[in-house]
Structure 1
Amino acid sequence: MVTPALPTDPLWPRAGDWPRDVDGPIDLALIGIPTWRTSLSPTSAHATPAAVRAALRRFTPFAATADGRNVDELVFADFGDAVEPDGPDGEPTARRFMADAVARSRVTVALGGDNAATVPAALGAWGDTIRSAGLVTLDAHHDLRDGISNGSPVRRLIEAGLDGRRVVQVGIADFANSRVYTERARDLGITVVPRGALHSRPMADVMAEALDIAGAGGGPVHVNLDVDVCDRSVAPGCPASVPGGIAAHELRWAARAAGADPRVRSVDITEVDALADAPDGRTVRLAALCVLEVAAGLTVR
């Protein structure tokens, strides 16, 4: 199928197509960490960074609701993709790649890849500050499994030195986690906000509390936006999304809250399989909008 060309309008600039080399300060750096080889579910998530970049062009970098500087006034840079980030050799390279982007920008957004991308993204962002760092996940799953996979990043980060008491998991779903891993989260001191609790609490309040807990150590906070936290109707391109997940606007609001908080140095967007998406590309478009929501939040810092 041939994708129709997007219309050209000099008065309607498009997001994306950001330069790789930028002189001077960078507001938002974009990188790809296309992990997929250790996924528990068959996935082509390695195709997602390129798909999200293409989807960004469907949107304008103007956000009428943003306070302060507008999104189209920010300085963006696209650092490209880490090469073969899965496995013992690729993961350290991806960490260094992430660290370089974080050092040069106010906030870095890493595009997965499956959730295994969260390990090099967070470790690269934190560096030697891991013991004071914090993590907020928007996810249907605890990601505390044994082994190395897209089901183990939170466990691996804690084993690397992250304090479980500064981990907050928002959107954990019923019937999507085992008793053992739920008990493991409790034993590690992780704060869990289940999906059901979000029916009576606005996402803005939940994120404010989550960022306070994650930032209590005084170190940088990493936010993992695992898109399978969303309802399957809006995220069919996520292998593990389920009916009853959060709404697209809730994920977008969480992304904007992350961008607005100066404690957040890095965000990743994971678990989207671009090749399994609906024909209208709704999951990939949601991921692209999350990039722009982080940028919108950044304007109010």
Structure 2
Amino acid sequence: MSNYKYLQPANTPFNDRFTTKAADIIETWDGIETLKGVGLLGAPLSKPSISHSGAVFAPGTIRKALQVFSTYSIEADIDLADWNFYDLGDVKMHVTNITESQTRIYKTFSRIFSEEPNFLPIVLGGDNSITFPSIQAFAKAKGKVGVIQFDAHHDVRNLEDGGPTNGTPFRSLLETKSIEGKHLVQVGIRDFSNSKIYREYCEEHGVSIYTMKDVRQRALLEIMEESIDLMKNEVDAIYVSLDMDVIDQSQAPGCPAIGPGGMDTSSLFEAIAFLGEQSLVKGLEIVEIDPTVDFRDMTSRVAAHVILNFLKGKQKGSIR
């Protein structure tokens, strides 16, 4: 300690003794202690992205964004400060081999989900290509899985034209029978962002599709309730997949596939909090943030709010 009263280590942030920042409650997991509570898992892969993407950097910027916000929800009068919150680290990616990187995600997540069944995983991508190995591993550990997918795109592109990209994860999940189409709900599918053949592919597999027009004309919470009701007697667990490009480009400028006419963040936060309340919802992933094209980490800050709203819902649900 310095003998000088006002001299402190460089880059020390302001500290308010009465405020707890979200990042302050996160501990590094040692890989040995039994996991309870919530755990962050990074999957920094963006080489399979159809368009240029620096999503490899997103797990770091989302973690950084958690330093900005407090643990207290004034809207719900709930404080998250007592959560057991661990950072499990990032899966090490192969430098050049995309398939090997996806295999590493699958093997790592399969083991963690199986050996540590009592924690709530929050996966930080990476681009949407991580969704295939992530949900495949989740299904292996949890049994029959349903997915609520927030996305501007169907992500069921053919694999012949480009291999396992960020546009193919749900096709891979359906064709490997990791999930059933009737247990997949797509929310926020956007105009002029998809092709007819892929909509027909989803419909043929029994996928439930809610376009942005549906979101605009109906209450999003009503859609969430329908989605839960659809699967609650059908699956063992529900996984929430959030592609940040579901949000309008004005509020999420750091997405590789930005576009107009998307969802607003307030509606998304409300939906995520509701899903957090549901005991059947046992996993969340956030993908498709490119910090290299973001503005003041706006999009990563949205992601941090998604995490906090998800945990707010979980805490609210446990209180009830």
Cα deviation for residue 95 of structure 1 reads 2.1
Shift of residue 210, structure 1, vs aligned partner: 1.3
What residue in structure 1 maps to residue 154 of structure 2?
142
Q: Report 1:11-90 matches (<5 A).
A: 11-16=18-23, 18-21=26-29, 23-66=33-76, 70-84=79-93, 87-90=98-101
Which residue is 2:122 aligned to?
109
Q: In the TM superposition, what is the alpha-carbon distance from 1:128 to its structure 2 partner? A: 5.4
**Residues 101 and 30 from structure 1, CA distance in 2 versus in 1: closer, same or farther, beyond 3 angstroms?**
farther
Q: Structure 1 length as normaliser, TM-score?
A: 0.92
Supply the distance in 1 between the matched residues of 2:34 and 2:56 (Cα, whole angstroms).
31
Q: Which residue of 2 aligns with 1:93?
A: 104
Please give the root-mean-square deviation of Cα atoms over the aligned residues, in Å.
Answer: 2.0
1-side partners of 2:109 and 2:220: how far apart?
28
| Contact 1:135-1:223 at 8 Å conserved across structures | yes
SS of the equivalent of 1:217 reads coil
Q: Cα gap change, 1:97/1:258 in structure 2, threshold over 3 Å: closer, same or farther? A: farther
Question: Quick one: which of 190, 193, 204 aligns to 1:176?
Answer: 193
The runs of 5 or more residues in structure 2 that have no matched partner are 1-10
Q: Secondary structure at the match of 1:72?
A: coil
User: What whole-Å deviation, never above 9, does each CA across 1:248-283 have from its counterpart, x for those lacking one?
Assistant: 1122122212221111111100111111101x2211
User: Is the Cα–Cα contact under 8 Å of residues 79 and 101 in structure 1 kept in the other structure?
Assistant: no
Q: Which amino acid aligns with 1:116?
A: S
Report the AA paired with residue 284 of structure 1: S
Deviation at 1:65, TM superposition (A): 2.9
Q: Does 1:194 align with 2:211?
A: yes
1:109 maps to a residue whose letter is I
Q: How many angstroms apart in 2 are the aligned matches of 1:5 and 1:203?
A: 41
Counterparts of 1:50 and 1:215 in 2: how far apart (Å)? 34
Most deviating of 254-263 and 142-151:
254-263
Please name the residue that 2:175 is paired with: 159
1:160-186 C-alpha deviation (Å, 9 max, x unpaired): 211101110000001000011111111
Aligned equivalent of 1:239: 256
Q: 1:63 to 1:96 in 2, by over 3 A?
A: farther
Read off the aligned partner of 2:212 and give its amino acid letter. Answer: R
TM-fit CA distance, 1:205: 1.6
Structure 1 gaps of 5+ residues are: none
| 2: CA distance, partners of 1:52 / 1:89 | 25
Letter in 2 for 1:293: N
Partner of 1:19: helix, strand, or coil?
Answer: strand
Question: How far has the Cα of 1:129 moved from its partner?
Answer: 4.9
Q: Deviations 1:48-105 (Å, cap 9, x if unpaired)? A: 00000001000011113337x6322211111011111772322232123323444344
1:290 maps onto 2:306 in alignment? yes
Taking a change above 3 Å as real, the CA distance of residues 176 and 270 of structure 1, as seen in their structure-2 partners, is same
- Of 6, 12, 15, the match for 1:8: 15
1:246-261 to 2 correspondence within 5 Å?
Answer: 246-261=263-278
Partners of 1:297 and 1:100 in 2: CA distance: 27
For 1:80, what is the secondary structure of its paired residue? Answer: strand
Say if 1:133 and 1:215, in contact at 8 Å, map to a contact too. no
Cα contact 1:107–1:264 (8 A) shared by 2? no
Percent sequence identity is 29
**Of the two, which has the highest radius of gyration?**
2
Residue 215 of structure 1 and its aligned partner are, at CA, apart by 3.7
Contact 2:45 2:101 in 1 (8 A): no
Which amino acid in the other structure matches residue 31 of structure 1? L
Using the alignment, how far apart are the partners of 1:153 and 1:107 within structure 2?
Answer: 22
- TM-score calculated relative to the size of structure 2: 0.87
Worse overlay, 43-52 or 80-89: 80-89
Taking structure 1 as reference, are residues 137 and 96 closer, same or farther at Cα in structure 2, changes over 3 Å only? same
- Post-superposition Cα deviations, 1:189-208, rounded to whole Å, max 9, x if no partner, equal 10001100111222222112
d(CA) in 2 for partners of 1:97, 1:65: 37
